[in-house]
Structure 1
């Protein structure tokens, strides 16, 4: 099953999205500090008015944190699943009038016309790792081309360990924090296993992703936060090129 079919089976399935939404509150509580850091990395005062693009927005978890942090900001949420968009509209209700969804398949290089040619910021959370390597590299260039000079792109995502030794270290430490994890790995349902395989299919180490940002033209490329297999990284489009 290829990536498109796998994503179709998961993220365009009513049952899968319903299951995803049922556990969303717990995930968002666990990730709130990271999403807040992502929001605060953008170079804006809290009362600034600006528009940002949330790539692979899902139900809008990242956008909700940003919109709460910046009361005058507006969000464009790019998402390809109608089911996720419908659930997102429900969860985004407190921010009505400050956001809109656009349909976008991140595997395609033709961006929807609804996305402005110049954006004040682009963010992504838990979406880039679903892309094949060539597409990751290409989309970094496309993001760069959509940013106005001086604007930032920031990404929150899981990564793969660069070698087996570190992979074992990361797993051991994670299991110490979550003693139920080994049992859960060994007793996944077929649906859980499919979601896990889709989750890790194109996951790669951090180093090439940082290099692709630099090759795309980004400056100030940095890792702003890292905990084992989770990172926040990004860069800025220079004001002068």
Structure 2
């Protein structure tokens, strides 16, 4: 089954599951928003792998006049985003693969949450290159995602801690199995490696603002954004 089909199948349960599987849910998403700073009240923002619009909802809470474009391959996920943002004319939707889609405009920020880790490493690097190209001067790229520890023993420890957390959530077995099925598509990469890729593609002031276990929020700015 293609990844797009997997997320189409589980779209209805996606938002509710986030708190069950992310031990730092609120801090994780808020950290991604905290590094966004704009000179305009209506910044143009691109949300990669936007799904149901969960990250975009956090963006709108902070920047109600933001113009946001959501792109995702999974049509069912975008349908839920359309329901979430019904009546908001500043929201656009693109049903496409964000690694190959040709964007026609530049953005003040490009954001993503829990999506890029599904890509093989060569596609991650290619995406970071295109993100740099698709940002306006002084734009920022923010990725809230799952990452791999560079140390196998630490990675094993982190996974064990995460499993202990999941056990406390009393998740129905069918829901748990569905989540594990989705994680079979994960292709996580070490945080330090990905930050090096951002620097190599021309980003400056690359850093990580939040990390807990395998959940990290890291960013790169283009031509000297003040954080």
**Same fold, TM-score > 0.5, yes or no:** yes
For residues 55-66 of structure 1, the aligned pairs below 5 Å read 55-66=48-59
TM-score (ref. length: structure 2): 0.86
Q: Over residues 139-161 of structure 1, what are the superposed CA-to-partner deviations in whole Å (9 max), with x where a residue is unaligned?
A: 10000001111111111001122
For residues 195-214 of structure 1, the aligned pairs below 5 Å read 195-198=182-185, 200=186, 202-214=187-199
Instruction: Count matched residues.
Output: 224
Match status 1:99 vs 2:91: yes
Q: Which runs of 5+ in 2 are unaligned?
A: none
For residues 153-168 of structure 1, the aligned pairs below 5 Å read 153-168=141-156
Contact 2:11 2:52 in 1 (8 A): no
Please point out which of 68, 72, 75 is paired with 1:82: 75
Note the C-alpha offset of 1:178: 4.5
Identify which range, 145-154 or 99-108, moves more after superposition: 99-108
The SS at the match of 1:174 is: helix
Note the C-alpha offset of 1:29: 10
Please point out which of 46, 49, 52 is paired with 1:53: 46
Q: Which runs of 5+ in 1 are unaligned?
A: none
- Cα distance, 1:184–1:133 mapped onto 2, change above 3 Å: farther
Q: Over residues 202-235 of structure 1, what are the superposed CA-to-partner deviations in whole Å (9 max), with x where a residue is unaligned?
A: 1111121111101110000001111111100011
Q: Which residue does the alignment assign to 1:71?
A: 64
Instruction: Give RMSD over aligned pairs.
Output: 2.9
- Cα distance, 1:159–1:100 mapped onto 2, change above 3 Å: same
Structure number with greater CO (CA < 8 Å, separation at least 6) is 2
- Cα distance, 1:212–1:119 mapped onto 2, change above 3 Å: same
Note the C-alpha offset of 1:168: 2.4
Match status 1:36 vs 2:30: yes
| Larger relative helix fraction | 1
